[in-house]
A and B are shown apart, each in its own frame.
Chain A
Amino acid sequence: MVGTLLAATEEFRPFWQPLPVWDYWYLLLLPLCVGISIVYKSIKCREMKQVPREATVIFSMILLGMLAAAGGLYVLMRLLER
C-alpha cells in the first residue's frame, strides 16, 4: 500500500495531475467540512473570538450526521440484499 502510494507520488505533478488518493477519497471530505464550518460561523458569529468553538461544534455535528447517514444507508443496503 505504502509502496504504491510512493510510486504514484513520484510521478505526481501538483495541480497538473489529480492527487493520487483514489482509495482514500472519502477522507478528503473532512477538510471541506472544516472549511465550511469556519466560513459559516465567521459569517454567523457576532464576535470572531466565538468562531473557533462554534466551528468545532458544527464540524462535529456535520461529521456525526455524515457517519449516521453512512451507518443508516449501510444497514438499509444490508436489509435490501437479503
Chain B
Amino acid sequence: MSAPRNPTFLPPPPLVALASWLIPGAGYWLIGQRVRGLVIGVTILLLFAVGLLIGGIRVVDSPLMESVEQRTERLNEEAIALRNNSSYRPPTLPVRALQKPWFIGQVLAGPVSLVTNYIGVTWGGDRGVPFSHARVNEIGVLYTAVAGMLNLMAIIDAAYRSSNEGGR
C-alpha cells in the first residue's frame, strides 16, 4: 500500500519537494506512496481551510500584497516619518516580512496561501476583505501557519524518501 511504485525510477528530490509545495501530499504521490500522500494532503488542506473559515480569509496577511487602503496608509506613514527624520529609510521587503512572521509558515502550505492573500486584498473594494480580530483571528492564523509547517515536514520527508528509494 505504501511501498514505492518503482524504486529505480523515483523522481529527483527537488522535483518531489516542489510538487509537495505546489499541492500538499503530491510528493508522496510521485514516489508511489499514494495513500500517505492523500491522507497528508487532505489533512493539511483541511486545516488550512478550517483556519480560513474560523478567522476569515484575511488571516493570510503577507507583506507581498496589500489592499489599496493598506498601501495608502503605509506610504502616508513613511512620508510622515521621512518629513520628521531625513535619515529615515522605509523598511525593505525582508524587514516587512519579519514584521509578519506568521506568513512564512502560511506560505509553506503552497500557492493556496498566495491565492487566498490575493483574494483578500482585491475583493471587497479598496479596503479588501475585512480583517478579523482577537481570539478567532489568532486561532485562524494558528491553523493556517500550522498547516504550512506540517507541509514543510511532509516536503522534507517526501524528498528524503525519494532519495532513499521510498524508505526512511
Contacts and interface: CB of A to CB of B under 8 A. Distances in A.
Given A14-B53, A19-B53, A35-B47, A48 B39 contact: yes
A42 B36 contact: yes
Given A19-B54, A22-B135, A35 B46 contact: yes
Interface residues of B, number: 37
A65 to B, nearest CB: 16
Interface string B135-168: 1110110110011001001100100000000001
B132 A39 contact: no
Interface in B20-49: 35-36, 39-40, 43-44, 46-47
Interface residues of A, number: 25
Contacts of A49: 1
A46 interface: yes
Given A43-B154, A48-B1, A32 B143 contact: yes
B54 A18 contact: yes
B70 interface: no
A35 B133 CA distance: 24
Contacts of B105: none
B136 A36 contact: no
Contacts of A21: 54, 136
Interface of B: 1-2, 35-36, 39-40, 43-44, 46-47, 50, 52-57, 124, 129-130, 132-137, 139-140, 142-143, 146-147, 150, 153-154, 157, 168
Interface of A: 14-19, 21-22, 25, 28-29, 31-32, 35-36, 38-40, 42-43, 46-49, 51
23 contacts: A14-B53, A15-B56, A18-B54, A18-B132, A18-B133, A18-B136, A19-B136, A21-B54, A21-B136, A22-B134, A25-B139, A28-B139, A32-B47, A35-B44, A35-B46, A35-B47, A36-B146, A39-B40, A39-B153, A42-B39, A43-B154, A46-B168, A48-B1
Would you list the 7 A-B pairs with minimal beta carbon distance, nearest first?
A18-B132, A18-B136, A35-B47, A25-B135, A39-B150, A48-B35, A19-B54
